[in-house]
Structure 1
């Protein structure tokens, strides 16, 4: 939308959260949609004046009086409308010369992907989960797991624990069922912690590099102070460690069979994965919150693209003038971690995972040549079908995300 500004026009906004000033910018956004942007103090003043339902002529006058220059209200309104912040724009004309009707949003609201989790769960029912006594229990789990693994080496998970059953298909299905059950419980922990803060998370499928993952979108927590965001960011990891402490405790008590070891092994992989900060893992968001950053990974990719262009004598592709100098300095340290980590994961996939997968698919295809009434045929068919389903789902996620970004 390209707007034509009329001084008597009044723009009404949805309820917006405006955070504290940090490094000259404030987080502004809607907790109900999870859309947040960083604005300088000048933009925040415009938001406040527009939010007070002042005529745009008065908004312009106040801005000139305070900052000594004319604001580009048309461009600013287009920007906040594209974020879904505008509820009604009476008297603001679009480029086609049509005024936005009362009650009609002047900009499209960004779609939210995924399934809303626990949206009807009252906050008071789960607020106790973030009380100080519970925090002590969570800290105990974080300390207990490494302590038990150091104290009793026989408890340490090993690759052999991934083989729960002897048949290839049966083992793949069993391990996949365990892994995805644990993933969903991990995401539910995030969702419960988010509800304890009064906002709602949304569950969706996504990818991290070459891995298909479930994720809980919880950008609504940006409407609470930074110190309170650690609980929902760390909720999934904390739940994993609580479960892992239980598995290790059962093994110490003599009740640790192969299924318990398989669960502990799967949880170990999940915990390690969450510390890979070169992907959008739980600890990546903890790091971003601690360092008071906006879109660290997105800005890093754009910075690297500009660097690549400069190396070949081309102009930069992205304008990073709006990124604070402090964040640019952090990006220079984070960029090698991002690059080397991504390359290491890709190399490990090509050198370790892919050959093993090719071998298993080969064995499965060999089984397809066996008699139809035999176990080998159905084992092979089932495994090939499972792999095809995973690859198809991953491809669908890639296409969907690229379309959304276009």
Structure 2
């Protein structure tokens, strides 16, 4: 942006943490860590100073030249610049999920009374289960019907309904403090997952961020408490059979959050408390570096550029991250995938045999449910990896078209 005279910026939040400043734009969820001189540059621009005056004032205040053109170019790439010399700079702002929900509608979620009520409900149900340990259900207790399609449908309703409420908790607790969010499907380690982007929460204090991170798990704990109370109903009660399904589904969902090598809620808590900028990305890069070294290939250590404390955390996380990811993928290939294949082949067999209308419908429903999940996964995977796939394909076909190939 060489030669720019007057620049206007979008409204940016600024918050000092750990000796550096977290600066960002809430609407886009883009945040960066800046030194004091960068924050001072933004303050002077917001005060209406021209770029040349800002450069002179920074030289006087900090005693060294500041690359204003380079810094402005970075701000432009981040989408922080709204106008340059009277010309508007257009940037895309992601659409919010449930945009009509205002902070005033959900502010009660951040009230201490809400947190206290949640803790009391979970504590009471936990004590009730502790006094009646014989009610703790086993995995087979979840299967409340002999019809595979009916069971899968009920399990899908409970699981995806719980996931929706989990993500809604993240969205609404963030919205309560004025931060927009977006719910969508994504992939982690190539597994389908629901996720909510509330990156703008970096504009809030750490205590508020923790509430947003943990709100989804709190919802799962409350639903698990509901399952515990259903377990205490008489066995003749119509709802009693659903108690194990509701309770164990929440247990699994809560346990999955501790797989923080997959950027779960616990991961974001750990990253924030460790004051790391991007623990997952840095650990992934360091893991690739270790693999290249084991393969005897030359590589530069990407963690060397990090501060000493952060470098130690990233390396420790990488040594956990790499084997845990391999184990998780291996379990999918050795356990989950064979079960899915058997489920599909069994359903295909029932459809092909056409022994009865009920058996055929059962098989069709199972196949439709599996196909729906796979289509959602394929769309999420393509959205995340589209650019990389297109880039690889373009390079491949470009080489195929070269003379002599």
Alignment TM-score, normalising by the size of structure 1: 0.87
Distance (Å, rounded) in 1 between the aligned partners of 2:70 and 2:292: 28
Tell me the residue number matched to 2:189: 209
Pairwise CA distance, 1:180: 0.8
Contact 1:310 1:316 in 2 (8 A): no
Change (3 A) 1:393 1:117: closer
Pairwise CA distance, 1:310: 4.2
Contact 2:187 2:193 in 1 (8 A): yes
Pairwise CA distance, 1:187: 1.3
SS in 2 for 1:334: helix
Distance (Å, rounded) in 2 between the aligned partners of 1:367 and 1:282: 40
1:15 and 2:37 aligned = no
Pairwise CA distance, 1:176: 1.0
Contact 2:347 2:366 in 1 (8 A): yes
Q: Within 5 A, what are the aligned runs for 1:260-339?
A: 260-311=243-294, 312-316=296-300, 321=305, 323-339=306-322
Distance (Å, rounded) in 1 between the aligned partners of 2:301 and 2:100: 44
Tell me the residue number matched to 2:380: 397
**Structure 1 residue runs without a partner (length 5+):** 91-100
Distance (Å, rounded) in 1 between the aligned partners of 2:322 and 2:218: 28
Per-residue CA deviation, residues 285-336 of structure 1 (Å, 9 max, x unaligned), is 1112222222110111122223334443423385862x33321111121112
Deviates more, 1:337-346 or 1:175-184: 337-346
1:36 and 2:31 aligned = yes
Change (3 A) 1:220 1:155: farther
SS in 2 for 1:215: strand
Tell me the residue number matched to 1:102: 87
Pairwise CA distance, 1:189: 1.6
Tell me the residue number matched to 2:117: 137
Q: Within 5 A, what are the aligned runs for 1:374-389?
A: 374-389=357-372
Q: Within 5 A, what are the aligned runs for 1:210-225?
A: 210-225=190-205
Contact 2:126 2:225 in 1 (8 A): no
Tell me the residue number matched to 1:127: 107
Distance (Å, rounded) in 2 between the aligned partners of 1:150 and 1:57: 70
Q: Within 5 A, what are the aligned runs for 1:342-361?
A: 342-361=325-344
Distance (Å, rounded) in 1 between the aligned partners of 2:386 and 2:125: 42
1:66 and 2:50 aligned = no
Distance (Å, rounded) in 1 between the aligned partners of 2:211 and 2:307: 27
Of 133, 143, 157, the residue aligned with 1:163 is 143
Change (3 A) 1:271 1:148: farther
SS in 2 for 1:79: helix
Per-residue CA deviation, residues 264-287 of structure 1 (Å, 9 max, x unaligned), is 111111111112111111111111
Of 2, 9, 21, the residue aligned with 1:4 is 2
Of 46, 49, 57, the residue aligned with 2:44 is 49
Deviates more, 1:49-58 or 1:140-149: 140-149
Distance (Å, rounded) in 1 between the aligned partners of 2:187 and 2:121: 28
Distance (Å, rounded) in 2 between the aligned partners of 1:404 and 1:219: 22
SS in 2 for 1:116: coil
Contact 1:161 1:265 in 2 (8 A): no
Contact 2:26 2:200 in 1 (8 A): yes
SS in 1 for 2:57: helix
Distance (Å, rounded) in 1 between the aligned partners of 2:264 and 2:188: 8
**Structure 2 residue runs without a partner (length 5+):** 392-405
Distance (Å, rounded) in 1 between the aligned partners of 2:78 and 2:355: 57
Of 84, 89, 95, the residue aligned with 1:89 is 84
Distance (Å, rounded) in 2 between the aligned partners of 1:392 and 1:239: 28
Pairwise CA distance, 1:404: 6.1
